Amino acid sequence: MTSRDRLLALTVVVLWGLNFLAIRAGLDHFPPFFFAALRFSVIAIPVLLFVPRPQVPVKWLLLYGFGFGFGQFAFLFWAMDAGMPTGLASLVLQSSAPFTVVLGAILLRERLRATQVCGLLVAMSGMVLIGWDRAHNAALLPVVLTLLAGLSWALGNLGNRKAASDQPMRLMLWMCVVPPLPMLAVSFAVEGPSAGWDALASSLDGNGPSALLGLSYLVIFGTLAGSGLWTALLSRYPAGMVAPFSLLVPVVGISASWLVLHEEPSVLSLIGGVIVIAGAAATQRVRAVRPTKPTNSPSPTRVGA
């Protein structure tokens, strides 16, 4: 990987790490499910109007959209609204990497290497340590919800992989078309028919402007810029060479949360997080052989929070 492309990968790491501050700003004003629906609706409307649908089976597009888009962000936003610390959320969400390996082995019959099995066991021990620490502090539910977000992300990864699109950026954009309506339905049922719309109507008051800035960041920098750069890197290098950069996202997320929100995660949670990242890194280790020519195969790993 060239120095320029390493810098681009680190730029994506920063953009995605700051995503969690943007989410926190949005959740300070909007109900979680409505905010998730709003985040995808802003992208879905122009995509429906101007972006041709990728030629992939609808079932895999739906799996990608419901897993990565609907499930991941419904659980993640719910977790953060229920008290999951912003920095810790960015860390526990890395559970998606080992979950992807496990689901790939179970559902797609992909062969596990010894290093992946060891990595899974290490990552699971880190998750147990974080769960024990949070349960000791009466805050286990947000951790469980964040783990469910990671599991949903992993299901979305399988949909992405099975779609096997040669236009991954277009596939990612059309994934955003799937979540808005089911997310609005959940918001209507759980948060009430008017809660989200009332928040939107008052978005110029109080902390509303900060929430709108957070929404704008998620759409422009987190999704379009971050995912666009990530997709470009994946088109030039093997996924195993690019994907490990995403494990640096929690470093940015935790640091930004400490500097801006003054969050101080416990020592046990940080140790557990380091263990999760180490295990996740082991599950993604592949022989980094540069292809003879660029490919456009979709990532088996991740496309930013």
Query: What does the pLDDT look like over 84-140, one tens digit per residue?
Result: 989 888 888 888 878 888 888 888 887 878 887 888 788 888 878 887 877 666 578
Decide if 263 contacts 213 (C-beta within 8 A): no
- Specify the number of domains making up the chain: 1
- Would residue 298 count as lying in a domain? no
- Would residue 142 count as lying in a domain? yes
Q: Kindly report the pTM of this predicted structure.
A: 0.85
Query: What does the pLDDT look like over 248-293, one tens digit per residue?
Result: 888 888 889 989 998 887 888 888 888 888 887 777 665 444 444 4
Query: What does the pLDDT look like over 27-71, one tens digit per residue?
Result: 999 999 999 999 999 999 999 999 999 999 999 999 999 999 999
- Would residue 122 count as lying in a domain? yes
Highest mean pLDDT among 3-7, 61-65, 127-131, 224-228: 61-65
End-to-end C-alpha distance for the chain, whole angstroms: 24
Confidence of residue 167 (pLDDT cuts 50, 70, 90): confident
Lowest-pLDDT choice from 55-59, 195-199, 243-247, 296-300: 296-300
Percentage above 70 pLDDT, the chain:
90
Residue 282 has a pLDDT of: 78
Query: What mean pLDDT, rounded, does the chain reach?
Result: 86
Please give the residue range of the domain that contains residue 42: 3-283
- Would residue 67 count as lying in a domain? yes
Please give the Cα distance from 89 to 93 (Å, whole number).
6
- What is the token pair recorded at 83? 């008290």
Residue 59 has a pLDDT of: 95
Give the residue-averaged pLDDT of 160-188. 92
1-40 as b/e: b if 16+ CB within 10 A = beeebeebbeebbbbbbbbbbbbbbbbebbbbbbbbbbbb
297 has a pLDDT exceeding 50: no
Residue 72 has a pLDDT of: 94
Give every CB contact of residue 196 below 8 A, 6+ residues apart in sequence: 30, 31, 33, 34, 35, 37, 38, 184, 187
Residue 305 has a pLDDT of: 67
SS3 102: helix
146 has a pLDDT exceeding 70: yes
- Would residue 288 count as lying in a domain? no
- Would residue 155 count as lying in a domain? yes
Residue 137 has a pLDDT of: 65
- Would residue 300 count as lying in a domain? no
DSSP letter (8 states) at residue 207: T
- Would residue 90 count as lying in a domain? yes
- What is the token pair recorded at 244? 């490990």
Number of DSSP helices (H) and strands (E) in the chain, helices first: 16, 0
